[in-house]
Structure formats: C-alpha cells, structure tokens
Amino acid sequence: MIASVPRSPTALWRPPSLQASPGGLPVPFWLVRALPFLLSVAVVASAVQLGVVLRERIAATPDPQPFRESSGLPTIFTPEVQRWSPEIQAWAAAYGLPAPLIATVMQIESCGNPQARSHAGAQGLFQVMPFHFAPDEAALEPETNARRGLAYLASALELAGGRVDLALAGYNGGHSRITQPPDLWPDETRRYVAWGSAIYADATAGRMVSPALDEWLQAGGARLCRSAPTHDT
C-alpha cells in the first residue's frame, strides 16, 4: 500500500491544458478567460462603424424642403405628372409631405397613369399593393390610391427621420428597409433609391431640367410614360 501524501487545496486543481496549435503551444489561461470580453468589444466596434457609415449616407441626402403651394410643381417633371399638380399640392397639405417628393414617387411609380399595374400586382398612381386596401375600396381611383400610398410614404418619412433616401427605400421595399444598411437592400430598392433621390434633389434645387430624370427616361421610364395621358380625359 502506498501511503497518501497530504495536498494543499490549491494543488488539487489545475487549469485544463489547451493547445493553440498542433505544435502544442499552450494558450495562456488569462487569454481564455478574456476571449468573451474581447469578442463583445469587437462586435460593438463593428456596430459603431456601421452606424457611422449609415449616418454619413443619411447626411448626404437633402432634407425635405418646404414647398409653397402657389408656386406649382418644379418644371422638371414630365407633362404626365404635371397634370396632377393641383392634386399633388392638396395631397402634400393633407399628408404633410413635400409636393416634389409626391411628384417624384408618382413619376417613377406610374408616370401619372392612374390605370398603371405592375407584374407584382401593384396598382394605380402610387403603385400600391392590393393588401393595403379594404375589400370595398377602388384601388385605381386616384384619391383612394393616394390615401393608401401617401399614408405609407408619410410613415416611411417619419420613421426615416425626414431623410428622403431612407423613406424611398421604405416605400419600395417595406419599412423594415429603413433600419437596414444599404448593402443589404435588394437591387430593385437600390435602383429605386438612386433614381428617386437624384430626381428629388434636382426638383428641390430649383433646376429647370433634371439630368437624373432624363437618364431615368432613357433607362426605360419613357416606355412607362407612353401609356399615361398628358391631360384629363
């Protein structure tokens, strides 16, 4: 029988032997204990950096500008949208939206065609999806379509803190897009925001013509406008 040798309490426990590599180099125990903290610091740092990038993008977008009802719409918009000028100004007052923003959305959604329909099922002047309407509502009727579409746009602008690019992303891709970094937006939403932000910026800058709108027309917008009337029928 081998006689037992008394041991001190501290001698009964030893840290596990962790291997950092097949070469067998031991990892310092303090580093093992610190790993969760270091990882959390890295996550926070990444979130802060992402926030900085998003704030810089937001800051580069012009704030909505006050629009005087008596001045009419900016001249950059096509005749198909210009004919809706009285209604757009009334809707701007009713929904607390800049008239040039309403005109911009109408321009790229339907080019002023109240009968416009998309392959995805969106309808009317503001291309509103059917689930936004009550069963007894006429989705293509301009006032009804504006009520549903512009209420959604106004909510997007509020959620976006008044920033037009994020509001456009929320209108096109759903309000959840507003809090997402732009690199997670679908390609359709990125294109929508790029066109809409540039056209809106030209409108609020007082330009007589809009290079952004001309590019949009050349990229396919003219085809959309050909189906829209330029005067009341």
**Could you read off the pLDDT of 145-159 as tens digits, one per residue?**
999 999 999 999 999
- Quote the pLDDT of residue 69: 43
Global confidence as pTM: 0.70
Q: In degrees rounded to 5, what are phi and psi of residue 128? A: -95, 135
Q: How far is CA 87 from the centre of its chain?
A: 26
What's the pLDDT score for residue 72? 80
Low-confidence ranges of the chain (pLDDT < 50): 1-25, 43, 47-48, 50, 53-54, 57-58, 61-70, 233
Strand partners for 123: 117, 128
Angle among Cα 101, 103, 104 to the nearest 5 degrees reads 65
pLDDT value of residue 190: 97
Contact 100, 204 (CB under 8 A): yes
Q: Where exactly are the structural domains of the chain?
A: 16-60, 64-225
Residue 12 confidence (pLDDT): 42
| Contacts of the segment 152-157: beta carbons below 8 A, 24+ positions apart | 152/128, 153/95, 153/97, 153/101, 153/102, 153/105, 153/126, 154/95, 154/96, 154/97, 157/64, 157/97, 157/101
Arch. (CATH architecture) of 64-225: Orthogonal Bundle (1.10)
pLDDT value for 197? 98
Residue 7 has a pLDDT of 45
